[in-house]
Structure 1
Amino acid sequence: MYPIMRMVKELIKFRNASHLPLTGTHVSAHRCWPSDIDLWMELNNGRTLTLFDLGRIPLAQRIGLVAVLRRKKWSMTMAGTTVRYRRRIRTFEKVEMRSRAVFWDKRFIYLEQSMWKQNGECANHALYRAAVTDKAGIVTPDTVLAEMGNITEAPEAPEWVANWIAAETTRPWPPMQD
């Protein structure tokens, strides 16, 4: 089940938070609840992806994207992701989530998210490729930024992000069937 009440809590909690620049980092605190765990009593890998929404949506709100999406009747969708899991998050454990945009190109916005344990260890790290869409398809990041009143050139893609983008271009679509 989607954590609607947790999302509402995050949106209310950060409704008056200071505005962030486009590449600013949104930091939020979360707890691994029993509804988030798997049979091994730790945060389920699929639930991790869902919980990352709790960072992405308030980030979008704080940079001014949510207001533009509502005004233009646009949507945001995830067009790809890769996650690295390194440390277990156990039931009732607190984590700090960090969310930020790291790059954009002619079609997509690349978002980096991570969860950090209280001892300072990074538990997981994700890179998302997001797209803003309307009824006709993808709205270019330049158009979105202009609607946000921000004409900013994309930062240089970190090498690891550029490598991921390049690797994704070699992946067949649709996937091969046996």
Structure 2
Amino acid sequence: MYPFLRMVKELIKFRNAPAMRVGDIHISEHRCWPWDIDLWAELNNGRTLTLYDLGRIPLAQRAGLVSVMRKNGWGMTMAGVSVRYRRRIRTFEKIEMHSRAVCWDDKFLYLEQSMWKKNGECANHALYRSAITDASGIVAPERVLSAMGHSAQSPEPADWIKRWIEADAARPWPPMQDKR
């Protein structure tokens, strides 16, 4: 089940937080509850992706994206993700989540998120491709950022981000089906 109450808590918690510029890091704290775990009493990999919403949505709120989306009738969708898992997050363990927009191109905004343990170790790291949409499809990030009052060009993506974007563009779609 989606953590609606946790999302409401995050939005209320950060409703009066200082506004952020595109590229600033939103930091939030979360706990791994019993309903977040798998059979090994650690944070479930699928739940990790859901918990990342708890960082992305308040980030969008603080950056002014949520109000611009409401004003224009736009929505937000995730169009891809790559996650690297490195350390277990156990039941009741507290983590710090870092969320930020890293760059954009003609269609997508790229968001970087990570979860950090109390000892300073990075437990996991994700790169998301997101799109702002309207009834016609994808809204160009340049238009979205302009509506937010942001006129700068995209920061140059790190080499590993460029390679991920290129590799994903070369991936066949739709994927091949086994016709057995």
- Asked if TM exceeds 0.5, the reply is yes
* Counterpart for residue 45 of structure 1: 45
By how many angstroms is 1:149 displaced?
Answer: 1.4
| Correspondences of 1:113-128 after superposition (within 5 Å) | 113-128=113-128
By how many angstroms is 1:150 displaced?
Answer: 1.3
In 2, distance between residues paired with 1:150 and 1:175? 37
Q: Paired residues, what number? A: 178
By how many angstroms is 1:152 displaced?
Answer: 1.2
| Correspondences of 1:45-124 after superposition (within 5 Å) | 45-124=45-124
In 2, distance between residues paired with 1:139 and 1:41? 41
In 2, distance between residues paired with 1:149 and 1:114? 27
* Counterpart for residue 18 of structure 2: 18
In 1, distance between residues paired with 2:10 and 2:90? 21
Moved over 2 A (4+): none
Q: Which amino acid is 2:112 matched to?
A: E
Structure 2 unaligned spans of 5+: none
* Counterpart for residue 139 of structure 1: 139
SS at match of 2:76: strand
SS at match of 1:119: coil
Q: Which amino acid is 2:160 matched to?
A: W
TM score, norm. by length of structure 2: 0.98
SS at match of 1:90: coil
In 2, distance between residues paired with 1:47 and 1:142? 31
In 2, distance between residues paired with 1:118 and 1:57? 23
TM score, norm. by length of structure 1: 0.99
In 2, distance between residues paired with 1:71 and 1:128? 24
By how many angstroms is 1:142 displaced?
Answer: 0.4
Structure 1 unaligned spans of 5+: none
SS at match of 1:68: helix
CA RMSD of aligned residues (A): 0.4
